[in-house]
Structure 1
């Protein structure tokens, strides 16, 4: 028999949270009820105090918590929005505060300027969805020279100063998509790849892995081209309409990025959603519904909550001179058959 006492979690009162967080009870009430007009730093301090009281965890006493800043592309779809929320909810034991900034997507010059601006704003470390552009690389290397580490998340960046990438093995994700495409799609014929832009290394790596595996193992399929929809629903719809006109015998489509809704809309409008194998990325309420109605066959998924937690862990580790090699987030395969219990995290 186990004689250990069961762990009992207490419920923190508003007054207890306010005292530990160093804020007023009205502020705690606004945070707990998810009301507006509360700074991200204050919101996080309140949630950390609540967590500490209810679990017995200790909040580390630092003269000043590390300031972490996260840059994500705006209007990049529900999975990116969810990732932003995940970052705001990461528990840091009081060692850090996190603010998440959304920057116009696919604009490397703007991202580079925003990265550089952090040097004058007291930011200690940066996590960002990287754009593979020399201007972004130059900004990251300048920040490194100033002692501000940058950690790429979701999409990687090649630079000698980058020591850690947080995300999935995107080459493996593409190879997985190809193997599933080859096994599911019995008919011979063309398959097409839809991508965002060359600025995302995760898109390029997924495409590379997909093409190499199709070429090596599935001779009955031919990748006929890569079409850019810029991760936009409307653009992806136009791209698929173009593909259907050019290749009426198309048997499969692999969307390496966002905008799955546009792909499905075009296939449904053409009456071929049940005839063409569609594989895409990231489980969301929308892609879950497509799996259930048969519009999509496979969703290749990455756990965004885990990515946020590991990224924060990596940044704090670098700042506290205890860097640890963090492994890749697993590539997950979601189908209609195993969707029950799957989370968007």
Structure 2
């Protein structure tokens, strides 16, 4: 009786690891088009039964594209969901077979973002990334443009004139929306605070500007304290919020314009009754949704990730397949608003 070929046989025939062969056969992510081709050819030669998706691939005339993505905060729910939405959008593309490579920067330093983007530039035809505003990233954008590798900025517009587009919220509008909610909720003289992640996040600076400008225009009796830096970390935000509540016992509101809102929610739970301080945060996560439910959070301003990823994939694939199309443009998405009664 002729022995049936196995995954081990395919691995030996292709020179790939058994785990990679298994990912190809089961249509799992992070597999290159070349690996799919090698496994398909070896399966045909050895008589290994091809799964349906590889059989369909034999008749698939769509071009193979390799796209790279750099995110950060790998352990946070928002960025995990962002990665899942990117993978889903890549898999759903009707006009190309996309190999999707997602990497996470280990920190928010410019050097770490540059290193991850450079790694992807060696094997990807277009890249989209989060990143801080820094000369090293602006210069890298220009370098990639000279190599005809489009670079798109996500959530924070850091690429400068040589980037191929920004995908995220209109941050000035998001800040003004936060200001509107703060003024609408308080409707009296009050003291409020604002946290930003750092000085190199242009998007957060625009949110702060929008927040302050709305209150200055429509609620001048609300005094905004000096902006605090929380480095977008849960622990530092927690400690800074505890300190703020101790120093300013009559604090009426807090707007966390960047990350780290989990720390602010935890501090308020310890120091104040629910509904006592108007807290406005960004992005819907399990923590912010629980905060809304028990009224420690007043409003969440969220990014529509499904819309972002769909629009982003349109532009990334277009930049490769139709390179003569206009190069740069902004994509300011409409924000999603969640309130305590949204659930």
Structure 1 length as normaliser, TM-score? 0.80
CA contact (8 A) 2:150 2:164 kept: no
Secondary structure in 1 matching 2:162 = coil
Tell me the C-alpha RMSD between the 2 structures: 2.8
In structure 2, the partner of 1:190 is 191
In structure 1, the partner of 2:203 is 202
In structure 2, the partner of 1:332 is 336
Cα deviations by residue, 1:161-217 (Å, 9 ceiling, x for unpaired): 123111110110000110011001134221100111122222111111111111111
CA distance in 1, matches of 2:60, 2:191: 57
Where does structure 2 lack aligned partners over 5 or more consecutive residues?
1-17, 41-51
Q: Which has the higher helix share?
A: 2
CA distance in 2, matches of 1:73, 1:197: 15
CA contact (8 A) 1:71 1:127 kept: yes
Cα pair distance change 1:327/1:109, threshold 3 Å = closer
CA contact (8 A) 2:68 2:124 kept: yes
Secondary structure in 2 matching 1:89 = helix
CA contact (8 A) 1:254 1:280 kept: yes
Q: CA deviation at 1:26?
A: 5.5
CA contact (8 A) 2:110 2:136 kept: yes
Cα pair distance change 1:103/1:158, threshold 3 Å = closer
Q: CA deviation at 1:117?
A: 3.5
Match for residue 101 of structure 1 among 94, 100, 103: 103
CA contact (8 A) 1:187 1:251 kept: no
Secondary structure in 1 matching 2:216 = helix
CA contact (8 A) 1:292 1:336 kept: yes
Please list, as runs of the form range in 1=range in 2, the aligned pairs for 1:222-301 lying within 5 A after superposition: 222-301=223-302
Aligned residues: 302
CA contact (8 A) 2:30 2:100 kept: no
Question: Is the aligned partner of 1:318 residue 2:319?
Answer: yes
CA distance in 2, matches of 1:76, 1:215: 37
Which structure has the bigger radius of gyration? Answer: 2
In structure 1, the partner of 2:151 is 150
CA contact (8 A) 2:23 2:31 kept: no
Cα deviations by residue, 1:47-93 (Å, 9 ceiling, x for unpaired): xx76x98xxxx95433xx12110000134621111101111111223
**Greater Cα shift, 195-204 or 206-215:** 195-204
Where does structure 1 lack aligned partners over 5 or more consecutive residues?
1-22, 33-37, 340-345
In structure 2, the partner of 1:10 is none
Please list, as runs of the form range in 1=range in 2, the aligned pairs for 1:123-142 lying within 5 A after superposition: 123-142=124-143
CA contact (8 A) 1:72 1:128 kept: yes
Structure 2 length as normaliser, TM-score? 0.80
Cα deviations by residue, 1:138-169 (Å, 9 ceiling, x for unpaired): 11111111111100011112522123111110
CA distance in 1, matches of 2:273, 2:263: 14
